Copies of this chain bind each other. A is one copy, B any other.
Amino acid sequence: MLKQERQQKIVDIINEEHKVIASDLSKRLSVSEDTIRRDLKELDNLGFIKRVHSGALRKGPPVEDFSTRQEMYNETKTSLATKALDFIKDDMVILIDGGTTNLQLVQELPLTLRGTIITNSPPIAMALSNHNEVEVIMVGGTLFKQSMVNLGIDTTETLNTMRADLYIMGIYKIDPQIGISVPSSSEASVKRKMASISTEIIGMVTADKLDTVSNHIVCPADNLTYLITEEINPTIKGLYENQKISVID
């Protein structure tokens, strides 16, 4: 068995069973305890596990009580988020609204990032609790539970007094002709306001959201400065590029 393969198994076992005993692993994987110890040491150095005497422990919290977390460990969303990271620099004022893709992005932000993040989404705010160099400004309003964002007249009024370098718009539906649309009018109006106070706008879109339409129009698609998508389909790409949007895939 390959070393890398074996170490992957060890990580899997620890994630599954929350703890592991070195001598036990030795039998289960049919290698000497010395090898196991070396593996555990390496994995600890890499930060995957926590080494303790006679074995190792899982690193994260013992129980994940956020049922939504699994859903967000989506490979596509991760790769979209990674591309979006290129647009985020220190000392920017960044506006982020809701959506699981945006949440994914925030979770990938380096802990050393410095700047200001304005959001109307409680989950986004909470995800930033460990970013000590980021000032988080929450925009209040009435919580719209379906997408976990604050909306309403208070929200737009508060936004009136702000500005941002970059708005990372959560996108539910987008279509080259119709534009960006959402299921509720108050959400549309808050997004419009956010767009109006930001210098640049980027949107991350998974392929399933391309060429679909919802009830309330936010803005034309070409209001986006950058469209980050996984789609390689040249037809679709061309449609958006005709509107002078930079399409990144």
A112-156 Cβ-contact flags toward B at 8 Å (1 or 0) = 000000001011011011101001111111110100101000100
Q: Which B residue's beta carbon lies closest to that of A149?
A: B138
Interface size class of A (residues with CB under 8 A): 35 or more
Give bound CA distance, A67 to B128, whole Å: 12
A184 CB-CB contact with B under 8 Å: no
CB–CB A57/B4 < 8 A: yes
CB–CB A125/B143 < 8 A: yes
Q: Which B residue's beta carbon lies closest to that of A145?
A: B129
A232 CB-CB contact with B under 8 Å: no
Q: Which B residue's beta carbon lies closest to that of A132?
A: B145
Interface of A is mostly: mixed
Stretch at the interface among A47-55, A189-197, A223-231: A47-55
| A4 surroundings in chain B (CB, below 8 A) | 52-53, 57
* Given A3-B52, A126-B123; A142-B136 close (CB under 8 Å): yes
Give bound CA distance, A128 to B67, whole Å: 12
Give bound CA distance, A54 to B66, whole Å: 31
Q: Which of B61, B139, B148 is close to A129, meaning CB atoms less than 8 Å apart?
A: B148
CB–CB B122/A126 < 8 A: yes
Q: Which B residue's beta carbon lies closest to that of A129?
A: B145
CB–CB B145/A5 < 8 A: no
Pairs A-B, 10 closest by C-beta atoms: A140-B140, A122-B122, A136-B143, A4-B52, A138-B140, A122-B125, A139-B140, A138-B150, A129-B145, A122-B126
Interfacial residues, chain A to chain B (CB-CB below 8 A): 2-5, 19, 21, 52-55, 57, 61, 66-67, 71, 120, 122-123, 125-126, 128-130, 132, 135-143, 145, 148, 150, 154, 158
List 6 other contacts, CB 8 Å, given A66-B129, A126-B148: A61-B71, A122-B138, A136-B145, A138-B141, A138-B143, A139-B140
30 contacts between A and B (CB under 8 A): A2-B19, A2-B21, A2-B55, A2-B57, A3-B54, A4-B52, A4-B53, A120-B140, A122-B125, A123-B126, A126-B126, A126-B148, A128-B143, A128-B145, A129-B143, A130-B145, A132-B145, A135-B142, A136-B142, A136-B143, A136-B145, A137-B140, A137-B143, A138-B141, A138-B142, A138-B143, A140-B140, A140-B141, A140-B150, A140-B154
